[in-house]
Amino acid sequence: MAPRPIEAVIFDLDGVIVDSEIWWDDVRKAFAAEHDRIWTVEDRHAVMGANSRQWSETIRQRLDLDMPAGAIERAIVDGMVERYRRNGPPTIDGAVDAVRRIAADRPTALASSSHPEVIEAALAATGLSGSFRAIVSSDEVAHGKPAPDVFLEAARRLDVPPDRTLVVEDSLNGLRAAKAAGMTAVLVPNQSVPPAPDSADHADLVIDRLADLDPAALDPATLDPAAPAAAATKPAAPTGPPATFADTIHPIRRTIRTWISRLTIWILCRALFRPSLEGRDRLSPSPAIYCANHLGWIDPFILMATLPMRPRLMFFGPKEEDMSVGGRNRLMQWTGATIPYRPGKNDLIDATRRVHAAIGARRAVVVFGEGRIQPFESHLRRLSEGAAYFALRERVPLVPIAIGGTSWLAFGRRIRVRVGDPIQPVGRANRDGVDAVTESCRSALAAMVAAQPQQGRPGRFGRWLTELFNDWPEGSREAAEAAELARPGA
């Protein structure tokens, strides 16, 4: 039987049109901190997709608060509305224009789990208030997502049958709600807060960006609502600016690359060196920030070869204008394990969102706290604030990791990776809190590297391998050694 034509499109709001999931998380973290509680990644997952009645009661129970759920709801909603008033909309590239383009072609509705006041603030900030023929909040129906109520109500207001309606979502619960409603489901994965790993299995179509959704792709000749999710239609080529490398790796391909790269690195490192891991019992499979010293280009690969496969590793950095330049950069880029940022830090907000997304995906993010390589095994330069800030912001442990033996590389040389005691985040991610956690991490790392012996200069091959991808800010190792010895406190 021929597929029935798509007559209407229903959009989710958070994560599809506005990149507001981070805001929700920040406001809830601040609320928890005001009541001497900690908001965790598990808490975040527990409330995603819920309507206001559901998530406020969940917060009350999980944080063990002696206050009405209504008061919790009011505080969080006020915080979100204030964010929109003060900062404007956190728009997703091309999303607003895509909504306007599709709304000009067919009836559209907005169906969101957000509170009506937050929806109103978001639409006013994006200028989309007049774009939808129907706007429905999950607060207006009996059950939130993954129940189909909000989508069925939106279709009823549009006067369009569910089987002729397409839903654009970014979450697993939203996709389940769309399919339960008998609608065609399109998944647009959010890069800040990625969907659950099996979300694509519940979608009829998966696209990288909302800007890629063209009305032609909704034609029944190219998109069959009755087709299984595995046969999802490939969208037309993007019309907007190209996504970054990290955005273009499919989750399955990323997983395959991770396993291939880590297995290959594990074999090569053990063929060339004698790496060891000390303090493995201090690591847990839960998300965390790892802060390590930095002696050479090979350090990320040594960590990939020695640390456990769970949680999966992401590396914050390197500071590069173009990750396609240089063999080391291309190799790290291929693994999909990097969160690069430009030297001028003009995209640091985006990099911070990626850290947030990595922690939300239950990964560990490695930060080389010194921000550069340095030549002496027992020295430690001043740590940057990034590792402490991320740990406090995400409410995950900060784990100091000392690498020894990589200042000079030689065949069969022993390389030690030592894990320190996890530092639990205490306080807020403000100046005082970041300074205190940074100092705790610096003290721990300094004590761990203090007794590390300096490696002897190897032969020709070892010197070549050591300096293969090293990038000395001073121009050479000799100049870096002289600068380090002259540095006060070194």
Task: Say yes or no: 416 and 297 in one domain.
Answer: yes
Query: Would you give the DSSP letter of residue 384?
Result: P
Task: Say yes or no: 162 and 130 in one domain.
Answer: yes
> 412 lies in which domain range?
247-486
- For residue 264, give the amino acid letter: T
Tokens 């030690």 belong to 416
State pLDDT tens for residues 109-120: 999 999 999 999
How far apart are alpha carbons 153 and 197 in whole angstroms?
28
Task: Say yes or no: 220 and 334 in one domain.
Answer: no
Above pLDDT 70, what percent of the chain?
85
Q: Which strand ranges, in their side-by-side order, compose the sheet holding 205-206?
A: 134-137, 108-112, 8-11, 165-169, 184-187, 205-206
Task: Say yes or no: 329 and 213 in one domain.
Answer: no
Domain finish residue from 207, 223, 240:
240
pLDDT at residue number 254: 66
Instruction: Say if 85 falls within a structural domain.
Output: yes
Task: Say yes or no: 383 and 422 in one domain.
Answer: yes
How far apart are alpha carbons 358 and 396 in whole angstroms?
12
The yes-or-no verdict on residue 234 having pLDDT over 50 is no
Instruction: Say if 2 falls within a structural domain.
Output: no
Its sign, for the CA torsion 46, 52, 54, 55, is: positive
Task: Please provide the DSSP assignment of 165-205 as one string.
Answer: EEEEESSHHHHHHHHHTT-EEEE---SSSPPPTTGGGG-SE
Q: Is the peptide bond before 146 cis (omega within 30 degrees of 0)?
A: yes
Task: Say yes or no: 223 and 297 in one domain.
Answer: no
Q: Check if the beta carbon of residue 468 is closer than 8 Å to that of residue 326.
A: no
Instruction: Say if 1 falls within a structural domain.
Output: no
The yes-or-no verdict on residue 230 having pLDDT over 60 is no
Where are the strands (E) in 297-421, listed by range? 313-319, 338-341, 364-368, 398-404, 414-419
pLDDT at residue number 247: 42
Q: Check if the beta carbon of residue 182 is closer than 8 Å to that of residue 176.
A: no
Instruction: Say if 3 falls within a structural domain.
Output: no
Task: Say yes or no: 148 and 262 in one domain.
Answer: no
Instruction: Say if 326 falls within a structural domain.
Output: yes
Task: Say yes or no: 220 and 260 in one domain.
Answer: no
The yes-or-no verdict on residue 357 having pLDDT over 90 is no
State pLDDT tens for residues 295-323: 999 999 999 999 998 898 999 876 554 44
Taking residue 140's Cβ as centre, other Cβ atoms within 10 Å add up to: 13
In this prediction the pTM is 0.55
Counted domains in the chain: 2
pLDDT at residue number 200: 86
Of residues 33 and 231, more confidence is placed in: 33
β-strand pairing of 108-112 with 8-11: parallel
Task: Say yes or no: 285 and 175 in one domain.
Answer: no
Q: What average pLDDT score do residues 210-235 get?
A: 51
β-strand pairing of 313-319 with 184-187: unpaired
What letters, b where the CB count within 10 A reaches 16 and e where it falls short, cover 108-134?
A: bbbbbbbbbbbbbbbbebbebeebbbb
Question: What is the CATH number for 88?
Answer: 3.40.50.1000
* The CA-based dihedral angle spanning residues 294, 300, 306, 312, taken in that order and rounded to the nearest 10 degrees: 130
How far apart are alpha carbons 85 and 428 in whole angstroms?
23
- Nearest CA among 380, 399, 384, 400 for reference residue 435: 384
The yes-or-no verdict on residue 183 having pLDDT over 50 is yes
Domain finish residue from 240, 270, 295:
240
How far apart are alpha carbons 67 and 79 in whole angstroms?
18
- Nearest CA among 235, 258, 260 for reference residue 246: 258
The backbone torsions φ and ψ at residue 168, rounded to the nearest 5 degrees and listed phi first, read -110, 120
Task: Say yes or no: 403 and 325 in one domain.
Answer: yes
Mean residue pLDDT across the chain: 85
Task: Say yes or no: 181 and 276 in one domain.
Answer: no
Q: What average pLDDT score do residues 78-90 get?
A: 91
Of residues 71 and 432, more confidence is placed in: 71
Instruction: Say if 278 falls within a structural domain.
Output: yes
State pLDDT tens for residues 443-455: 999 999 999 999 8
Instruction: Say if 29 falls within a structural domain.
Output: yes
Instruction: Say if 379 falls within a structural domain.
Output: yes
Of residues 336 and 282, more confidence is placed in: 282
Question: What is the CATH number for 468?
Answer: 3.40.1130
Domain finish residue from 240, 268, 289:
240
pLDDT at residue number 213: 86
Task: Say yes or no: 262 and 186 in one domain.
Answer: no
